[in-house]
Amino acid sequence: MLSIRKEIKQGLTDATGLEVYFVQPPVDVDVAIPLLILEEKGNSQYYRDRNSNIEVVNLSYDISIYTNDPSQLFDLMESVDDYMFGVGLKRSYTSSDMSIDNKLWCKTMTYNCKATQLEDGTIQISQ
């Protein structure tokens, strides 16, 4: 199964300077706000040759931003958007601004791409 979530996690950390977690932070860890949550939303096979040398998959990722400063949402959104577009993923959804207890703000964005694992093992991303 082809996935690029580890590469995206590291790239988002590099692009934003924030810790990125898969699905949710561990319960026994103090987390710093703002933070990013990365979830692989979909991973469906589009094509695979009979020799399993070439595989193409449709990938979908949700990235949720949590912050206690609502103005920070849009700066982080822009950083996330720039990074994801730069590696070849296209944003297909953005949630409305959501406030949790008027203290914690959240925004979720969905990104999609096709990823191809070539015969030499490299991964090529296309929209």
pLDDT tens digits for range 34-52: 999 999 999 998 887 777 6
Average pLDDT, the chain: 88
Q: What is the pLDDT of residues 91-111, one digit of tens each?
A: 999 998 777 777 888 999 999
Task: Find the angle CA(61)-CA(125)-CA(36) to the nearest 5 degrees.
Answer: 30
Higher pLDDT, 117 or 77: 77
Encoding tokens for residue 46? Answer: 């589009």
pTM: 0.88
At the topology level, CATH places domain 5-126 in STM4215-like (3.30.2000)
Residue 4: name the closest of 34, 42, 31 by CA. Answer: 42
Q: What does the domain layout of the chain look like in residue ranges? A: 5-126
